[in-house]
Amino acid sequence: MTTATVPDKFKAIVEGLGQVPTLPAIAARALEILNQPNASADQAARLIGQDLALSAKVLRLANSAFYGIPRTISSVDQAIVILGFQTVRSLVMSASVMKILGRGAKGSLDRRGVWRHSVAAALAARLLARKLGRRMGLDTEALFMAGLLHKIGVMILDSAVQAEYESVLREAAQEGAQPLPAIERAVLGTDHGALGGMLCERWGLPDELREPIASHINPAEATSSREQAAIIHLASHLAEVSGFVAFVGFGQWPVDTSVLEILGLTPLDIPELGEALRSELEKAEGFFALIDQSM
């Protein structure tokens, strides 16, 4: 499904006329700075330093076992140098989106579970990008960020049409049910991938993020960034089979065989990728701690 076919009701919500707010001012400005090719860590640090909660998250992540730095990182500018602009950009966006859409009334959705799944998928996307990047010329950190945000459309649905989305989740949990995105389209006229792509466009995020998020459900139908969309599709599946499920009581989809063809992989590669992901997940305590604090 493309963003062009999203019903007007959801377009209005994503455009800020409904329940989904825009990015906080500090986060928006930080992302603007971090996207500049000549930006400095000092510039970004001065801005991020205005948000104490965000500063604490950056420092906690830089000092986590995931990065294995042998000394204590005590300043935000040092943390940015250690983490890199792409990772800090991912963290700013992730923390901001969790703050926006993680609060308020909740329906049947386990939001903490969705975000833990998203972090696991981001790690899986990074693994896949490293494995395939030399052959395909992939941006590893852009795919990490796309993995973090690929379920943002689910948060929109749970926030904006809670009762309707509860019925979607109940139907998806029934024995023999269709995959979740098919039920979303049948009941709501759109799916979480298309809505996530629309929100990325609304926020002015680059196509390298928007298109894999919008097309990750059916990568073979993507008009561009097909390989990136296929990576997010497979990464989401790997996160799920590693125990980081997005939804309670049902799986989101089986792996589309076309995804393996797009990426030049075979079913025999899946167990090896799953094992590598489990190793990464064991080191990712910092990201999961940030999620637990934000939900």
Q: How far apart (Å, rounded) are the C-alpha atoms in residues 123 and 143?
A: 9
Class of domain 3-294: mainly alpha
Q: Please give the pLDDT value at position 166.
A: 92
| pTM confidence score | 0.79
Give pLDDT, residue 184: 94
> Three-class SS of residue 137?
coil
Residue type present at position 105: A
Question: Does residue 16 contact residue 202 with C-beta atoms inside 8 Å?
Answer: yes
pLDDT along the chain (295 residues), means of 10: 68 59 68 78 83 79 72 84 78 69 62 86 91 78 86 86 91 91 92 90 80 92 90 94 89 85 90 88 69 57
Each residue of 96-118: b (16+ CB within 10 Å) or e?
Answer: bbbbbbbeeeebbbbbebbbbbb
Q: Is 16 left (phi over 0), alpha (psi -120 to 50) or beta?
A: left
Q: Where are the alpha helices (DSSP H) in the chain?
A: 8-12, 25-34, 41-48, 52-62, 76-83, 85-101, 111-136, 140-149, 152-160, 162-172, 180-188, 192-202, 207-215, 226-241, 257-263, 269-283, 285-294
Q: Record the tokens describing residue 202, joined without a space.
A: 């609304």
